[in-house]
Amino acid sequence: MQSGFRYGLLLFDLSTIIYLAVTSFVGGSPFLELIDAAIGFGVLTEFLARLSVSRRPLHDLLHPLGLADVAVIISFLVPIGGYRFGFLRALRVLRLEAFHVQGLDVK
């Protein structure tokens, strides 16, 4: 069951990265902002779930991957100056490395 959940998270991360790659060549629109918000809430939900089951939530929050997740969440939920800070969303790629480090080898 746990590996199914982890593969679901991996699929979510890959889908998010593909979305970022495709929409980076498209101008902003209200529809894309709605999708951004949905992705942001998805990432926020997943992040809060990870913190809630963590043995050391503050450590995980202040870990570089945790801080990268916070930056990604903010960049999806708060359109700071349009898309000038959209590059922060690419930090989501770091999650793929985290899957490898945590033992879910994606080959």
**Cβ partners under 8 Å of residue 51, min gap 6:** 57, 60, 61
pLDDT score, position 80: 53
Q: Tens of pLDDT along 41-55?
A: 988 998 998 899 999
pLDDT score, position 44: 92
Dihedral angle of Cα 94, 98, 99, 104, to the nearest 10 degrees:
150
How far is Cα 19 from Cα 97, in angstroms, rounded to an integer?
Answer: 19
Low-confidence ranges of the chain (pLDDT < 70): 1-2, 79-107
What is the reported pTM?
0.74
pLDDT score, position 24: 75
